[in-house]
Structure 1
């Protein structure tokens, strides 16, 4: 499948809202939460004023000029927070474009950018049952902690 990865443009905030909602892991047999869930404070930290801080970086994957995925990082006190020098990842793809290598390409490109900018590591949190755990491990993330339902994963960039 032909796709391209590009830098997220100013004013594409609505894309982040859509992809943040898509990033919510819904186990098989469960109903998806209402879209309004992204308005909760613990999820708004992924969106509020994105692009206004030096550590905010976003990439978009496009197929036929349609955004089908996004990855964005910022230093924030989110589920995957390690410290105030470590960017946390958020990534999501439209359901129809999962399993095609686009997510892996987004992750690898963001990790390259972070390394080029001098970051020493990056983190994320993921539900233990989420199939994406394997993809994160393939891109260099290791499980460094866990709580009841989630793994905290870290990728060392040096």
Structure 2
């Protein structure tokens, strides 16, 4: 399977709403929330006016001309916020494409891009039960804070 990783095109920004929904961790046996949950203010910060702010970056994974995953960053007041200068990161893949190394490749390429742009660190928030915690650790993230349900992780670029 040939995977192309490239920058998100301007006419694809609408896909971020779909990938934001896919990024919601749903534990085994739990009913997924309705798709319109991404319209809530605390989630809209990830995608509103994307591409217009310093730190807005998005890479996508494409297989056979279909975008199957995305990783994006922006400076925002989200769940993983560390401070005003640190980018927050979100990543998701369609279910059928998870567990195949595509997410790891997206992460590594995004971290390289952020280093080239001169950013010092990037953060994310992840549910403790999410299997992706291990992938984040493998690519250099470490836990800096936690609450009962989530870790806040940072990668010092």
TM bucket (normalised to shorter chain) is over 0.9
Where does residue 42 of structure 1 map in the other structure?
Answer: 42
Q: 1:68-95, CA deviations, whole angstroms, 9 ceiling, x for partnerless residues? A: 0000000001000011111100100000
In 1, distance between residues paired with 2:36 and 2:148?
Answer: 25
User: Are residue 113 (structure 1) and residue 132 (structure 2) matched?
Assistant: no
Q: Secondary structure at the match of 2:136?
A: helix
Gaps of 5+ in 1: none
Question: CA-atom RMSD, angstroms?
Answer: 0.6
Q: 1:4-29, CA deviations, whole angstroms, 9 ceiling, x for partnerless residues? A: 10000112122101000000000000
Q: Secondary structure at the match of 2:112?
A: helix
Q: Secondary structure at the match of 2:100?
A: coil
Where does residue 134 of structure 2 map in the other structure?
Answer: 134
Q: Which 4+ stretches in 1 moved above 6 angstroms?
A: none
Where does residue 68 of structure 2 map in the other structure?
Answer: 68
In 2, distance between residues paired with 1:79 and 1:149?
Answer: 12
Q: CA deviation at 1:2?
A: 1.3
Gaps of 5+ in 2: none
Q: How many residues align?
A: 157
Q: CA deviation at 1:54?
A: 2.0
In 2, distance between residues paired with 1:123 and 1:11?
Answer: 27
Q: 1:39-78, CA deviations, whole angstroms, 9 ceiling, x for partnerless residues? A: 0000000010000012100011000010000000000010
In 2, distance between residues paired with 1:83 and 1:118?
Answer: 16
